[in-house]
Structure 1
Amino acid sequence: MSLLMPETADHDLLELLTGAPFRAPYLAEVLDWITRAARDDHERGRSRSESLPGEVVRRLEAYSRTFELGARELAERMADARSALAAVVHHHYVGLLLKDSPDDHRHGQVVSGASLRRLATAVGRGRAISGGRATVVIVHGPASTSVYRPVSRDHAHHLKLSARKDKEGAARLAETVTAILARHVRMADWSDPVGGGVEVEARSHLVAVSWRSTHDDARSWIDDGTRDLCIAALNHRGHTVTVSADGTLRIHPPL
């Protein structure tokens, strides 16, 4: 079965424009005004286009070529939406942040083609780029880029189930890690915003252990030996601990 979405049409473009973020707040009203005027003329048989979406798009294009308020931004947004429609042609994608470690690659987020189209329209064609093998690249910033590759419906379903299983496993592991560390170190207490402590957090498919404090330096738990004590306590109970670039401890559930 083909993964390709049905042929794009004017109503797809209008859906993207309706949900697109406009810098000029009045453009949403312009879009609504043009849509209502086109609907009235279409119902009275005075439309130049065969379909109502086609007539709305024709009038939006005409408006975008004028010197009216917001015309230039409307033209830009229409170009962004058309670029998104051309780039995102599959039903399901899995996205990966390029800054993620190799261990994170199997845990990419599954998104629908419709959601990716909206994202590509929102960030603009300058930051939403067609890649090789039907991938879509979204540039978030100088050091953050996501690559979305198309997957089949069955594969997307499998990835969602796997992610749910990983999340549940990470939640159980976080409870275990908290119980182990609470015997040896001071834990973070959300009711005490001043005092510092070790914080345990379940993150989708792993558990992160870090130091939380409003006044201590991030290196304080390293300098006083607290982090080493956490590593030793977890290793003693059979858990493998790795240290990320920012000093956070990472513990993966057993395979």
Structure 2
Amino acid sequence: MERFNPLKSRLAACLVIAVVALVLIVLSKYVDAWWSGLLQNFGSGLLTSLLLIVAYDRILEIRQQTEAKKREQTGLRKLNYALSRHIRGILFDIYRSSTEAQPVPALRSYRDFVKTHFAQEAQHLNILATSPASYPVQQPYADWIGKTHEVFQQQLQRWIAAYAPSVSANIGMAVEDVLESEYMRGASQFAQLSGQMQATRISVLPFFNQGVCQNYADRLCAVIDYVEASTGQPVGEFENDDWHNALYPVSHARVHNGPLPH
């Protein structure tokens, strides 16, 4: 059975009204004056009603388009905010603690940082070293990474449920790709791993290899590209002060035992 379509039914009703109105107006020319006036008035009334229906539908359509656009903008803004916090607050902290670049490269664009810098250095992070971002709590990177990535994972899941239908399908698919990455699945479980490693008194444990980090960076950049293309604005840019940390120097959590296996 064919599914009921309200739009088609409404158009059909309008067409019937228009045809009836025109028939009445035409018939009014072939009857006496009293019937002619009655038919013309009735036909004109039907046409007026039809115009009102069309005008109402147009107003309703404009309102729906406005609301849809507003919801799309809200979704993009919330996604932009989540990406900015993740990149600046988590990925950059990992990078700063694991890079040995001296002087540090001039980073500006969040996208360029994720695409070309993060994976190369993040692979050298010792996830059992203390995370400066967890201050004043002395928390190893594994715990901090696990908790912060789990929060980011939940943010993206809630975003998909609330806003994916309101934005481009490509953006929703790109966000799902980030959630399904090996990096995201593993990082959100790091807190459990940290407890196991501390029980064995291991003091050094490298982060994901470069391939895993780069795959995540590429997926994250796909989301960034869609958001920036949709908003016409960069997701974010670094400031010089972002490098400064009064507690720990750059590369304080780097594993200094040569390159890691890929």
Do they fold alike, i.e. is TM over 0.5?
no
TM-score, scaled to structure 1: 0.23
Q: Which has the higher strand share?
A: 1
TM-score, scaled to structure 2: 0.23
Point out which structure has higher relative CO (alpha carbons under 8 A, 6+ apart): 2
